[in-house]
Amino acid sequence: MNTHDPSQNSAEHDGESAAQQGLTPATQLPAPATQLPVPPAKRLAGKVAIVTGAGCVGPGWGNGRAIAFRFAQEGAKVFAVDRSLASMEETQAKIHAIEGDISPYECDITNTDAVIAMVQACKEKYGAVDILVNNVGGPLPGGAEALSETDWDQQIDLNLKTVFMVSKQVIPVMAAQGGGCIVNIASTSGIRWTGAPQIGYAAAKAGVIQYGRVAAVELAKKGIRVNAVVPGQLYTPLVDKVLARTQSGNDTAQLLKRRQKRIPLPFMGDGLDTANATLFLASDEARFITGTELVVDGGMSARCD
């Protein structure tokens, strides 16, 4: 897999500069160096973290890759899970470059037996599961009339049922250890209209948020915290590889301009912003935080238009 320097990020496509595409500085990313604490504080030292969806559809900072990287940077032992080992090659390379601890594991987490085997493999490798990040998911276009029943079922299974199934297997492990932390990656699609009819995805992500609230109350007595990170319209490899095709006829520049208009802050975030929020909720700094959400959207969900 090709390497990618996010400081030279995807404001350029097909040899055109950002200015030639009509992009303003507001649609370009801040340098990652401004987002990472230097040096890392080792807030997760000795912790074992399962991160699902730790691969990425292309080079750069997808949410799962960034979460795995930041966790490793902060001292966690990362059990990185994805349905494709190839998609985790860059994740693994980035973590090895900082001498972090990562164990990639190939798993289709829509399959219950595969999930059971995955959690057991993590226990055998590291002896514990302290943190679970449920990050698997992805949207399909289609509104209340247009979305097929098959696609509706796929969206619920991929985006919501996976959270339930992986958590169900991890909760007894955490309870036996005396506690743990679950962070579910939701989406602003679960709390507001975000510009495209993707009703299955929106319903599933709303379910992820409410799942976390209910589970947090139930599991508090076991010492398990449950929270959600709610990313907004970030610039991740998914934009280039998937959303530009499904939402703007492969016109990435046009899609970025539309998305940026919804964001009050004068720049677009990336997967590292999701990762930093997830890191906080997984750390002991958030020990008294459970049953809530941290929205990472540059102020988009606070707008009424």
Q: Is 299 domain-assigned?
A: no
Buried b / exposed e over 278-287, threshold 16 CB at 10 Å, is bbbbbbeebe
Averaged pLDDT for residues 106-117: 98
CA distances from 206 to 29, 117, 130, 209 (A): 27, 28, 25, 5
Confidence (pLDDT) at 278: 99
CA dist 215 → 182, 212, 279 (Å): 10, 5, 20
The C-alpha atoms of residue 236 and residue 108 are separated, in whole angstroms, by 22
Return the CATH number at 184: 3.40.50.720
Split at pLDDT 50, 70, 90, the class of 294 is: very high
Tokens 């029943």: give the residue.
149
Position with higher pLDDT, 152 vs 248:
152
pLDDT at residue 29, rounded to an integer: 53
Q: Which of 272, 230, 235 is nearest to 255 (CA)?
A: 235
37 band by pLDDT with thresholds 50, 70 and 90: low
Number of domains forming the structure of the chain? 1
Residue 169 has pLDDT above 90, yes or no: yes
Other C-beta atoms closer than 10 Å to the C-beta of 138 total 15
Does some domain include residue 138? Answer: yes
Query: Which segment of 5-9, 234-238, 242-246, 291-295 scores lowest on mean pLDDT?
Result: 5-9
Is residue 39 a part of any domain in this protein? no
Sheet holding 293-296, edge to edge: 101-106, 77-82, 48-52, 131-134, 180-185, 224-231, 293-296
In a domain, 291, yes or no: no
- Mean of pLDDT values over 7-35: 41
Domain, as residue range, for 150: 45-285
Share of the chain above pLDDT 70, in %: 84
**What is the amino acid identity at position 69?**
F
> For 12-16, 64-68, 170-174, 270-274, which range has the lowest pLDDT when averaged over its residues?
12-16
Looking at the annotation, which residues are catalytic? Answer: 201
Identify the residue with better confidence: 241 or 156. 156
pLDDT at residue 12 greater than cutoff 50: no
- Per-residue pLDDT at 5: 37
Q: Which of 29, 1, 4 is nearest to 272 (CA)?
A: 29
The predicted pLDDT at position 30 comes to 54
Interval 169-182 mean pLDDT: 99
- Mean residue pLDDT of the chain comes to 88
> Which of 32-36, 136-140, 152-156, 263-267 is modeled with the greatest confidence?
152-156
- For residue 182, being part of any structural domain is answered with yes
Structure token pair of residue 166: 């992986």
Question: Which whole-number Å values give the CA distances from 183 to 45, 49, 50, 225, 286, in the listed order?
Answer: 18, 11, 10, 8, 12
H or E stretch at 237? helix 237-238
For residue 268, give both structure tokens.
């677009």
Tell me if 188 sits within 8 A of 232, measured CB to CB: yes
- Could you report the per-residue pLDDT of 133-143, keeping only the tens digit for each? 999 999 999 99
Q: Write out the two tokens for 102.
A: 């990562």
Does 61 score more than 60 pLDDT?
Answer: yes
Residue with tokens 């009703």: 199
pLDDT at 232 over 80: yes
pTM for this entry: 0.86
Closest alpha carbon to 184 in 200, 169, 206: 206
Indicate whether 14 pLDDT > 50.
Answer: no
What does the alpha-carbon distance between residue 150 and residue 199 come to, in Å, rounded to a whole number? 13
**Residue 262 forms part of a structural domain:** yes
Q: How confident is the model at residue 234 (pLDDT cuts 50, 70, 90)?
A: confident
